[in-house]
């Protein structure tokens, strides 16, 4: 999963990190802010003073919250965070929880004690209190379910066999994001769980998650589809003349994706869908309204990297513009430091020890600490950009896992750290 470095061997040696992590509100009065000089890199993995702290347990225990959507760019630990929060909501707060992930990694299923995840929720055994189910979005299967639930078996079979449908349901841009929202709607409609934790799709841009449902709805419910579904070449020519060059552009795009049989396939597809998907736009609008509901909570997930923080700022602003209920930001993968000692002081102490013994082992530990502290200082400078741009958003800063999550105990530990206990 994204939390684990791709090349663990390249990671610097790690000092032991205390198992007890202070809550954000426990930071001492007068502690340096993220833009202080020098950066307080030796802080023991807590959100700095001056930044509002995110109370994760208060969010998870809030019975008025029924959906938590973990959003952000790829590679920042959304999947690990979503799974850990769902587990903690079940075990610590006794909630009936389901986590919907988009990540196909086997490691997540293994860490949950499930042989494999698919489009059907599976119970996670050995959960201590409450309940937890887990599932992985199957984009094609979810699309098939939507079709099957809105038409007859005969017409559904026609749609499933159509090349245009096969392309749209499997590979078309935005389909994954839309189907994630479709599945979310299905889960909410059952009433089986009082909390759904959503791991949003790893999009090229986090904004795709908000834009894709309406974009796909406009495609399948719009005038271009009406053009391509015209029953005769003459009718299509008439519509083309009315629509101008834009239709030709869309036709070229579709031909590139589907080949020379485009118009025939699309005409047959849309003829079958005339009654089935007339409400696609309404479904997208309903999904968007559901995301604005106070029962939903968005958490922006980021990492201390310029691109990830920049995307988090942009996404936060977009959520605010769209009046989405944003509850906080979780910053993953910070370099852990094990002592309240600046890099400069550590290097000075190491140099003093090496004057009498160049191979002093304590000096080596101090130099390792200095390297980690410098890295942490650089990460905090990057993270400070988010606080400067979004000062009112509560945050929670978390250390990198350093190891692969392999079981429920690892997820429990991550969730406890996220909660600040």
Comparing 12-21, 48-57, 291-300, 302-311, the range with the smallest average pLDDT is 12-21
What's the DSSP call for residue 299? E
- Predicted confidence (pLDDT) per residue in 70-128, tens digit: 998 888 989 899 999 999 999 999 999 999 988 766 778 888 888 888 899 999 998 98
**Is-cis flag, bond preceding 38, omega within 30?**
yes
Instruction: Report the half-sphere exposure of 60 (CA within 13 A, side-chain side).
Output: 29
Contact predicate 90/129, CB 8 Å: yes
Q: What is the DSSP string of 103-157?
A: ---HHHHHHTT-S---SS-EEPTT-SSSEEEEEE--HHHHHHHHHHTTS-HHHHH
H/E/C letters for each residue in 237-291? HHHHHHHCHHHHHHHHHHHHHHCCCHHHHHHHHHHHHCCCCCCHHHHHHHHHHHH
Measured in whole angstroms, the distance separating CA 66 from the mean position of its chain's CA atoms is: 17
Q: Phi/psi class of residue 94: alpha, beta or left (left: φ > 0; alpha: ψ in -120 to 50)?
A: left
- Predicted confidence (pLDDT) per residue in 393-421, tens digit: 999 999 987 778 889 999 999 999 999 88
What's the DSSP call for residue 28? P
Say yes or no to pLDDT of 61 above 60. Answer: yes
Contact predicate 220/327, CB 8 Å: no
Which pLDDT score is estimated for 201? 76
CA distance 81 to 399: 12
Domains located in the chain, CATH noted: 40-419 (3.40.50.300)
Which pLDDT score is estimated for 405? 83
Burial class of residue 83 (count of CB atoms within 10 Å of its CB; 0-12, 13-18, 19+): buried
CA distance 220 to 382: 41
Measured in whole angstroms, the distance separating CA 247 from the mean position of its chain's CA atoms is: 35
Strand partners, 196: 67, 98
Distances (CA, A) of 403 to 149, 223, 336, 376: 43, 51, 13, 18
pTM, two decimal places: 0.77
């Amino acid at each position: 999963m994204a939390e684990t470095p791709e090349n663990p061997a390249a990671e610097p040696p790690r000092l032991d990190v205390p198992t007890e992590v202070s809550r954000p509100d426990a930071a001492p009065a007068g502690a340096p802010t993220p833009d202080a000089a020098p950066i307080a890199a030796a802080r023991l993995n807590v959100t700095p003073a001056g930044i509002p702290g995110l109370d994760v347990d208060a969010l998870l225990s809030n019975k008025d919250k029924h959906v938590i959507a973990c959003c952000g760019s790829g590679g920042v630990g959304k999947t690990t965070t979503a799974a850990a929060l769902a587990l903690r909501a079940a075990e610590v707060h006794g909630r009936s929880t389901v986590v919907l992930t988009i990540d196909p990694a086997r490691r997540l299923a293994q860490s949950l004690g499930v042989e494999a995840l698919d489009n059907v929720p599976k119970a996670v055994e050995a959960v201590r209190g409450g309940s937890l189910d887990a599932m992985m979005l199957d984009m094609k299967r979810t699309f098939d379910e939507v079709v099957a639930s809105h038409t007859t078996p005969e017409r559904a079979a026609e749609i499933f066999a159509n090349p245009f449908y096969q392309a749209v349901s499997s590979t078309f841009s935005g389909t994954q994001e839309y189907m994630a929202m479709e599945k979310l709607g299905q889960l909410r409609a059952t009433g089986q769980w009082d909390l759904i934790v959503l791991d949003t799709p790893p999009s090229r841009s986090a904004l795709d998650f908000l834009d894709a449902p309406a974009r796909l709805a406009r495609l399948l419910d719009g005038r271009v589809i009406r053009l391509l579904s015209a029953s005769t070449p003459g009718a299509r020519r008439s519509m083309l003349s009315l629509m101008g060059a834009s239709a030709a552009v869309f036709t070229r795009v579709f031909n590139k994706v589907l080949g020379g049989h485009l118009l025939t396939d699309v005409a047959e597809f849309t003829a079958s869908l005339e009654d089935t998907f007339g409400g696609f736009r309404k479904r997208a609008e309903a999904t968007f309204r559901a995301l604005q509901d106070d029962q939903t909570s968005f958490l922006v997930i980021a990492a201390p990297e310029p691109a990830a923080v920049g995307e988090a700022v942009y996404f936060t602003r977009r959520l605010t513009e769209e009046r989405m209920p944003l509850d906080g930001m979780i910053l993953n993968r910070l370099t852990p430091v094990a002592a309240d000692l600046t890099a400069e002081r550590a290097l000075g102490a190491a140099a003093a020890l090496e004057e009498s013994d160049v191979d002093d082992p304590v000096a080596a530990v101090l130099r390792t600490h200095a390297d980690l502290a410098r890295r942490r200082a650089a990460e905090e400078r990057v993270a400070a950009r988010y606080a400067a741009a979004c000062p009112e958003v509560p945050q929670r800063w978390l250390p990198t896992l350093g190891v692969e999550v392999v079981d429920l105990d690892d997820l429990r530990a991550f969730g406890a750290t996220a909660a600040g206990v």
